Amino acid sequence: MKQQLTSQRVGEGYTRVDHPSGLTILLYPMEGFASAYALFATRYGSVDTSFKTDRDSDFITVPDGIAHFLEHKMFDAKDGDVFERFALTGASANAYTSFDRTAYLFSCTDNFAQSLEILLDFVQNPHFTPEKVLKEQGIIGQEIQMFDDDGDWRVFFNLLGALYHNHPVAIDIAGTIESIGKIDADLLYQCYNTFYNLNNMVLVVTGGFNPAEAIAVADRVLTTASDIAIERRQPPEPPEVRLPRVEQSLEVAVPLFQIGFKAPPAGYPAEVGQSLRCEMLLEILAGEGSELYRTLYDSGLINASFGTEVLAGGSFISLILSGESRDPDAVLAAVKQAVADLKSGGISDADFELARRMLYGRHLGAFGSVRGLGSLLLQAHFSESEAYAMLEEIAAIQKQELLPLIESHLNPEHSAISIVWPSAKDTQP
């Protein structure tokens, strides 16, 4: 079944195909673009460590990092290295695992059909052996050790570890050396057979390509999957933070900091609207046009690295401010004062409209980028929404809807700071 989705705001449209195999296919050809971009993704990420299907009698709990491990192993196909197959078509291929999804992707300017066939083929044909699993444990173990010394990585996951008591979002996406040592081929196949069911996946294609050609490849390569219901289980998570502060010293040039506010999750599909409103709230609080940003920047407490983000999934959401500073505690004090001022003084009409325009512009800008649009379509689909609906949601937000979020989503009692200091202790204030 095909459904055409259009937007008067954007003046474009794209096609959603509910393929007989069970896969959802989103096709967004972009006039004037030479390159094509394809994402073949499953709603399965690092937080999905306890789950069952409607065919299982009970939940299974798997080692941390197994989703990322599985992503790595998919490229080690039975008939050789997948990257070598893509090299023959001239496509650039990659993959990533996040907290709530795993995606395999390529971009190309020629040989689109051949590259798409490779993508759909290798992701449907896993090949795991004890010998290759053991080899991969060593490779990923080295990767984990490398990121243990990365300041940007550590300041982020240290913050999550401070915010969350039990939720697996606090665990490194790659897991730990100990946890990946528990992974074996049988566990990989169990996770694959659960989450790589085509009914739990989506194919997104954007840019310069022929939609009919994409459908023809899908018809030829995809096999029909029996639908299954997946139930995910998360441990109970209190609203309070685990630690208000965490510090570490590493080989960094200047102190790094991240300030996080732990907020109550909304679940899907409400998470979409909640995340957009939180983005607006952070823009009002600490965007480049805010008083807080100007004060911190003019005083030299922050530099151009300063930014904000909303980290959100169905079972977690945090509002994060991050950057470099010679005095992270002064930044923290200023942020908390700005939150208090916002709570007592409210939001001006001018600040609200500026934040809405900034947010709308960022999302609209994705429609002019092959990769940006692909990521937006993927995000919307796994959030049980669609790309144009997100623009309409932004346009419909009212100022009064943000006011309760100041209390519930920017609560200083539910905040934490993570700092990575330079190893030379005399650099600390």
* Pairing mode, strands 245-250 and 415-422: parallel
pLDDT at 267: 84
Asked whether the predicted pLDDT for residue 200 surpasses 80, the reply is yes
Q: Residue 357 above 80 pLDDT?
A: yes
Right CATH for 2-232 from 2.40.30.20, 3.40.47.10, 3.30.2320.80, 3.30.830.10: 3.30.830.10
Region 322-332: mean pLDDT is 98
Amino acid at 355: A
The CATH number assigned to the domain with range 245-427 reads: 3.30.830.10
pLDDT tens by residue, 33-42: 999 999 999 9
37 residue type, one letter: Y
| Residue 425 pLDDT | 52
408 HSE (CA, 13 A, CB side): 12
Please give the pLDDT value at position 424. Answer: 65
Question: Is the predicted pLDDT of residue 426 greater than 60, yes or no?
Answer: no
**How far apart are alpha carbons 97 and 112 in whole angstroms?**
24
The yes-or-no verdict on residue 364 having pLDDT over 80 is: yes
Quickly state the pLDDT bin for 163 (edges 50, 70, 90).
Answer: very high
136 catalytic? Reply is no
Q: Which of 71, 237, 271, 386 is catalytic?
A: 71
Indicate if the alpha-carbon torsion angle 327, 333, 338, 341 is positive or negative.
negative
DSSP state of 425: G
Segment 236-240 mean pLDDT: 96
Residues 246, 162 contacting (CB under 8 angstroms): yes
Question: 276 with 359: CB under 8 angstroms?
Answer: yes
Nearest to 376 by CA among 197, 200, 206, 195: 206
pLDDT at 67 > cutoff 90: yes
Query: CA quadruple 238, 68, 421, 324: dihedral positive or negative?
Result: negative
Place of tokens 């623009």: 391
For CATH 3.30.830.10, list the domain ranges present in the chain.
2-232, 245-427
Contacts of 105 (CB under 8 A, 6+ apart): 37, 38, 39, 40, 93, 94, 95, 96, 119, 374
Q: Residue 50 pLDDT more than 70? A: yes
pLDDT at 374 over 60: yes
pLDDT recorded at residue 79: 79
* pTM for this entry: 0.94
- Cis peptide bond upstream of 130, omega within 30: no
CA distance 33 to 167: 42
CA torsion sign, 305 to 45 to 262 to 160? negative
Query: pLDDT exceeding 70 applies to what percent of the chain?
Result: 99
Instruction: Say if CB 313 and CB 267 are below 8 A apart.
Output: no
DSSP state of 60: E
What's the confidence (pLDDT) of residue 366? 94
pLDDT at 242 exceeding the cut of 80: yes
254-276 tens-digit pLDDT? 999 999 999 999 888 788 999 99
Whether the predicted pLDDT of 334 surpasses 90? yes
Percent of the residues in the chain that have a pLDDT greater than 90, as a whole number: 94
